[in-house]
Amino acid sequence: MNFPLQPWWRGGVIYQIYPRSFQDSNGDGIGDLAGITRRLPYLAGLGVDAVWLSPFFRSPMKDFGYDISDYCDVDPIFGSLADFDALVAEAHRLGLRVLIDQVLSHSSDQHPWFAESRSDRHNPKADWYVWADPQPDGTPPNNWLSIFGGSAWQWDTRRCQYYLHNFLTSQPDLNFHLPAVQDAALDTLRFWLDRGVDGFRLDVVNFFFHDAQLRSNPGRGGATDDPALNPVNPYGWQYHRYDKSQPENLGFLQRLRRLLDEYPGTTSVGEIGDDQTLERIAEYTGGGDKLHMAYGFDLLGAPHDAPYLHGVIERFGRVVRDGWACWSLSNHDVTRVATRWSQGAEHDAAWLRLAFALQLSLRGSPCIYQGDELGLPEARLAYEDLQDPYGITMWPEYVGRDGCRTPMVWEADAPGAGFSSAPATWLPVSPQHLPLAVSAQQHADSLLAFYRAMLSWRRTQDCLQQGELHLLPVHPQVLAFVRSLPGRDLLCAFNLGAAALDYALPQGLQARALAHGCPLSGAVLRGAVLELPAFGAAYVELGADSPTAL
């Protein structure tokens, strides 16, 4: 297919697929690439612009693909390189771009690079990973912690040294201070670019470099409220000044961008978890010479009121400036938004529509996690069904990430909900999800129908895709802003409260009419007053004389 030349990713909508749980094509209970290919027409019909595939590379699956043992091959449980090529070809035929996850900060301990590196201290790859001698008392080199619990250092008896792992002990960190490691990482990206991928989602992109002096992190004296971390994890008790987000990362990201620039139309989106996430997004996406987009965890935590969201958007605009965000409400690492942001059963139908409309209206590129278009809640799993090593370690106070990774529900009455014909799937299909299956939402007032209609309408609204964003004054219940392009201003107003209210437009704004064709309904415009229903939203065309600096 011939794609348009403008940067599609600026405002394009991405749909994240967790391959293990999307569609099983061979009856083994695990989703695969051929299954994804089968379901691509569904995604094209939904109205998204691109799919992001979580890892499908060769892996021992200790962290379900985020521990890679071969960056340039498909794990047999997902299929083959031929299956991947067929997926890309079909996606492009349908007008969908394909982004793939790349986990460059660390590999599996079963990767040949690590096998060679750990064999002794003098082999050609001896410095490809982060090795360090113990302190005089035999303890680890510093106080760095693993996100998955305990020290970030693991003793290795072959070299009688510690190696760094920010996640599982089976996920050793690569040493990006070494140019050869950077070259090898970029070579893996080129491999997939040559196969036709349209870009990459870069896992923990701010973890690539560590402090070369291995200085200990300062403590914060207690747990953090960072939504990326759970409160029982001691990782949040440190300011992560030295184990990630090092200035050397900028040079590597510039190298990565130069590679992508050789392949017109490709893009990159980085995952950033940091004590100063917005500052990192500004660094990593500003200037047009590093990442195209990045996302943090500002909208991936607890329910948010209008003043909080106003603060997030205000800080983003002030700090990030010329950078670009990818806004997610859910992903494979956090509790699903239908549960995390629940307002109670009597309000959730309206609330989920409001949340999606807000996501589509922010300046940036929305990313939908599979099943959010169905309103799937977090699945409840028994301990014996857990697969996530993080959850197993932190149980019972934290149950892990399996509840957002259960299989997609396609057909309410089919065995395995249409996901698989296997008698048992890698995670159980949630009985809670069956009434919300795709087959059960083929009616005009379903959430799935709303997603389709809202995505279709947004395609007609250049302001929402490309426009600047001007916040209106903070309000205790309403989040409001104007999206602007030359010659057009669109007011977006969201009532985040459970009570209807009249919202008076700020002085000087001249409301012409509610935007034509918007799937949201219920709002009424009376002169300069918007009547907003509970958990309702409105889009209002503004007059040409409205102020442009708000």
Residue numbers annotated as active site: 203, 262
Q: Which tokens is 465 given?
A: 């895709």
Q: Which residues contact 65 (CB under 8 A, 6 or more apart)?
A: 19, 20, 54, 55, 56, 57, 59, 75, 101
Residue 42 CA to its chain's centroid (Å) = 21
**Antiparallel, parallel or unpaired: β 524-526 and 529-532:** antiparallel
Query: Are 260 and 266 contacting, i.e. CB atoms less than 8 angstroms apart?
Result: yes
Q: For the beta carbon of residue 544, count every other beta carbon within 10 angstroms.
A: 9
Strands (E), 40-166: 50-53, 57-58, 70-74, 97-102, 131-132, 153-156, 161-164
Question: How many alpha carbons lie under 13 Å from residue 20 in its C-beta half-sphere?
Answer: 22
Q: What's the one-letter identity of residue 531?
A: E
Query: Are 271 and 294 contacting, i.e. CB atoms less than 8 angstroms apart?
Result: yes
Place of tokens 């300046």: 363
CA 430/CA 407 separation, integer angstroms: 8
Residue 140: cis peptide before it, omega within 30 degrees of 0 = no
- How distant, in Å, are the alpha carbons of 129, 254, 404 from that of 330? 32, 29, 9
Query: Are 121 and 162 contacting, i.e. CB atoms less than 8 angstroms apart?
Result: no
- Cα-Cα-Cα-Cα dihedral of 369, 370, 374, 379, to 10°? -90
- Residue of 13, 198, 18 whose CA lies nearest to 91: 198
**Antiparallel, parallel or unpaired: β 14-17 and 524-526:** unpaired
Place of tokens 């670019």: 193
CA 233/CA 307 separation, integer angstroms: 28
Q: Which tokens is 183 given?
A: 């070259």
**Antiparallel, parallel or unpaired: β 478-485 and 501-504:** unpaired
CA 8/CA 402 separation, integer angstroms: 32
**One-letter-per-residue 3-state SS of 448-476:** HHHHHHHHHHHCCCHHHHHCEEEECCCCC
